[in-house]
Chain A
Amino acid sequence: MKRQWLSRWSFLILLLLFSLLLAGCWDYHELENLFIVTGVGLDQVADSDKEEDPDKEANTEKMDVTLQIGKTQSPSTGSSDTGTQKSSAILLKTAKDTTMESIMQLDQDSSRTMLLHHNQVMLLGRDLAKSGIENRIDAFLRNQQMRMEVLVMVADRRAEDILAAELEEEEISSMYLYGMMQDLYNVSPHYKIRMLDFVSRLRDGTSSAVAPIVELVEQEDKERLKLKGMAIFKKDKMVGSLSSQEMQGYIWTMGNVKQGALAAQTDLGRAVFRIVKLEAKRDIGLNPNGSIRGTISVYATLALTELRGFSGMTPLELMPYLVTLSENEIKRQIRDAFKVAQELDADIYRFGLDFHRRHPKVWKTIEEQWDQLFREMDLDLQVKVKLPATGQIAKSLEMEEPKP
């Protein structure tokens, strides 16, 4: 009888003790004590800072780390100051040798703890990208709070400027960048470079990584962010870039394009097409003389969206003409991009990886000389365009012959 009483009481006490554990003693993070990092920018240490620092030698390893923090305030709380347009992002900046040291420093100097789970973008300043980034991004892979989905982008000048940009469209610039890349992802998945894609290319050995470049433009006192092309990395150093046009050529070479536009100009007039679908098949092999032969066959379905000129042509003549016109335009852009890549010895198309996958035995013998082989590679380019529709009208006003 007594035993039972005892066990019932001990059970109750045990239950009460468990309730203490439920609250948790470690690993609790209150929202009001957190700084939610939405973007991280890495820059070469600015020149002006360098002079102030007496310890000049040690400076080379340092970099400027900028954290963009989205404010956690809910819109309802600050009802009184809705009129004053306050930025809803905070920027914190420091210069340290590594990313994590910087974050720890900022953590110490601020009232809240950094939360990196929701980081959207890693921006690399152009100068830093040029000096090599392999020793800079380890924290983004190692740290448990960092995600492999984070976007990798290169800032046209300094990353901190991009993060500091005050945009009309979106209050937090890194959210804007995320939206922009998500939008482009619907055009072609190859626009969106996640940390995983970036690192995967760095690990290929022969492939060159690419990353979109964002540029801060000021238009009538307003700041805007624009996509300026793609940075090309050789190993881990940025060596050049593709312009917007060339970037399109690169995207088309990679295939799997679901949207987009294409404009072509001739003496007769100008035609604008919408890309309905664009697929690229590629085949890579070894010529008997030891050089590499790459074949790219592009199959595109386009739709006509605008015409100017072409007066005096009947629709029957015009359609085959437009098909050849668009084929040549696609070819031209693809070749332009390819030329840039070849000049930089940068295999941004992952032809080397393709070759490795298709011919693993031969690969071992040519891996060493891949850069040279890529530079001398012949590109056999075939483009087939289908133009099934002319839109709502068959002829244009200019084409119309005067009625008798």
Chain B
Amino acid sequence: MRIDKSRISGLQFMFAMTCFIQASTLLSTFIASVTFQDSWLAALSGSLVCLPLIWLYRSLMVMFPHQNLLEIFDEVYGPVLGKVVSAGYCWFFITLGSINLTDLGDFVKLTIMEETPNVVLLIMCILVAAMALRRGVSLVVRYSDFFVTVAFSVLVISIILLLNQIKLENFLPVFDQPIGKYIQGTHIIAAIPYGELVVFLMIHPNAKMSRRDSGRYLLWAFFLGGFTMLFTVLRDVAVLGNTLDMFTMPPLVTLRLVNLGMALSRMEILFVIVLIILLFFKIMVLYYVSVMTVAHLLKIKKYRHLILSVGAFMITYGLTLYPCPVKHAASAQETTPFIWSPFEILIPLLTFIVAKIKKLPAGKEM
């Protein structure tokens, strides 16, 4: 019983995941004040640590090619326990969506539209996303390849334009922090951008791809997204040096420094646009997944009726989540990685093990 019957290609699936990871480049902030000039190391190790996680998601996708995450739960844990786990995920997806929504609001407010009320920005975003959602997943991910290309180009252009300000000494000294800080940084990177890929377990049944492809696409998405993340952090460290941790948004400050004579400066608007696009995409995916989850839990076939109500809920929820961005940053550094871990790592792992023991997908294939 699939609620959304539209299909997407494997490539689109891959670009959607890349886009999703890229949307988290803003999060380089969260590790900057933990690992300072070694933030790139944390970004690198965080990515590497996630490789097994990617493998885990891939295995689940291969084991249950026609079922999304919630249907997997129903099958593995039975209808009652499965619903309980699904409800947990419902909270997880909606919270994640709301957090990203507030991120977008704060970001736009801080960068270009200071005086515009937050709620207006959020409503606009949700309305546009809702229009996409009505047509199902195929429209949600349709422009992901375009978004990825734009994000890449801006990254590459910014690095070229900043070449004259890059100081490689800024990376020294390496390994100057206590070891615990590296673990904290790695954990943040692992949990926040990569672990969130778990939402794609809700979408994979809609993607047309073979068993072999799914692994390949996941790895490519991981590689492209990780590459963006790493190079963003590298660029920011090289340009900003020891002031990196001072700013709430290092990439923005870095781009503001672009200055080639009088002609080429004030480039930050490019970054702002790219980030708005990427964050919008991430919100749209999370929004879609939340709607699907609610529809599944309430056994509603026509999910279209749910779209606006879930959106309204996400807006109000998002507005009340954090009293201020400082609290948000603090929780992203300290608590969020721990709260997310069960949803991103433990439950998928447990599901995988239980499914293996019960030899579940084998019965299905016959």
Known contacts A27-B114, A27-B116; is A149 also within 8 Å of B259 by CB? yes
Task: Name which of B46-54, B191-199, B240-248 contacts chain A.
Answer: B240-248
Contact with B along A256-278 (1 / 0, CB 8 A): 00000000000000000000000
User: A360 contacts which of B110, B117, B176, B265 (Cβ < 8 Å)?
Assistant: B176
In the assembled complex, how far is the CB of residue A108 from the closest CB belonging to chain B, in whole angstroms? 17
A212–B241 Cα distance when bound, in Å, is 22
Given contacts A199-B243, A200-B242, contact A27 B113 (CB under 8 A): yes
In the A-B complex, list the 4 residue pairs whose CB atoms are closest, starting with the nearest.
A357-B172, A360-B173, A26-B116, A26-B115
Across the interface, A27 reaches (CB within 8 A) one of B112, B169, B176, namely B112
Tell me if B243 and A200 are in contact (CB < 8 A): yes
Partner of B242, one of A25, A204, A360: A204
Instruction: Give the Cβ gap from A149 to chain B, nearest Cβ, in Å.
Output: 6
Task: Tell me the minimal C-beta distance from B115 to chain A in angstroms.
Answer: 4
Q: Is residue B162 within 8 Å, beta carbon to beta carbon, of the partner chain? A: no
Alpha-carbon distance A363/B176, docked complex (angstroms) = 11
Distance in Å: Cβ of A22 to nearest Cβ of chain B: 12
Q: How far is the CB of B197 from chain A (nearest CB, A)?
A: 33
B134 to chain A, nearest CB (A): 13
A27-B112, A196-B257, A200-B241 given. 10 additional CB < 8 A pairs?
A: A25-B116, A26-B115, A148-B256, A149-B256, A149-B259, A149-B265, A357-B172, A357-B173, A358-B173, A360-B175
| A144 x B169 contact (CB < 8 A) | no
Q: Chain A contacts of B257 at CB under 8 A?
A: 148-149, 194, 196
- Residues on A with beta carbons closer than 8 Å to the beta carbon of B210: none
Smallest CB gap from B115: residue in A: A26
Is B331 an interface residue when CB atoms closer than 8 A count as contact?
no
Chain B residue nearest to A195 (CB atoms) is B243
Q: Which residues of A contact B241 (CB under 8 A)?
A: 200
- Given A203-B243, A357-B172: A147 in contact with B114 (beta carbons within 8 A): no
Q: What's the Cα separation between A27 and B246 when bound, in Å? A: 27
* Interface flag for A141 (CB, 8 Å): yes
Interface of chain B, main secondary structure: mixed
Within 8 A of B (CB), among A210-251: none
User: How many chain B residues touch the partner (CB < 8 A)?
Assistant: 24
Q: Are B110 and A144 in contact (CB under 8 A)?
A: yes
Residues of B105-164 at the interface with A, using a CB-CB cut-off of 8 Å, are 110-117, 120
CB neighbours of B240 from chain A (8 A): 196
Does B183 lie at the interface of the complex (its beta carbon under 8 Å from any beta carbon of A)?
Answer: no
**A375 at the B interface (CB under 8 A):** no
B243 to A27, Cβ gap below 8 A? no
Number of chain A interface residues as a range: 10 to 19
> CB within 8 Å of A: which of B18-74?
none
Could you tell me the distance between the alpha carbons of A25 and B242 in the complex, rounded to whole angstroms?
A: 39
Distance to closest chain A CB from B247 (angstroms): 8
Any B CB within 8 A of the CB of A157: no
Question: Chain B residues near A62 (CB, 8 Å)?
Answer: none
Asked if B253 lies at the interface with its beta carbon under 8 angstroms from chain A, I say yes
A180 CB to closest chain B CB (Å) equals 14
A356 within 8 A of partner (CB): yes
Q: Contacts A27-B113, A356-B173 hold; do A203 and B259 have CB atoms under 8 A apart? A: no
CA gap between A343 and B352 in the complex, in Å: 69
Q: How far is the CB of A223 from chain B (nearest CB, A)?
A: 25
CA distance A204 to B241 in the complex (A): 10
Residues of chain A from 141 to 183 with CB closer than 8 A to chain B in the complex: 141, 144, 147-149
Q: Which B residues touch A194, using CB under 8 A?
A: 257
Question: Does the CB pair B253–A358 fall under 8 Å?
Answer: no
CB distance from B107 to the nearest CB of A (A): 12
Q: What's the Cα separation between A128 and B116 when bound, in Å?
A: 37
Q: Please list 22 pairs of residues, one from A and one from B, whose beta carbons are closer than 8 Å in the complex, sorted by A's number.
A: A26-B117, A27-B112, A27-B113, A27-B115, A144-B110, A144-B114, A147-B256, A148-B253, A148-B257, A149-B259, A194-B257, A196-B257, A199-B246, A200-B241, A200-B243, A203-B242, A203-B243, A204-B242, A357-B173, A358-B172, A360-B173, A360-B175
User: Does B246 contact A203, Cβ atoms closer than 8 Å?
Assistant: yes
List of A residues within 8 angstroms of B173 by Cβ: 356-358, 360, 363
Distance of A27 Cα from B120 Cα, bound (Å): 13
- Chain B residue, CB-CB nearest to A29: B115
Measured CB to CB, the closest approach of chain B to A11, in angstroms, equals 12
What are the residues of chain A within 8 A of B242 when measuring CB–CB? 200, 203-204
> CB-CB < 8 A to A148: which residues of B?
253, 256-257
Q: How far apart are the CA atoms of A26 and B169 in the complex, in Å?
A: 44
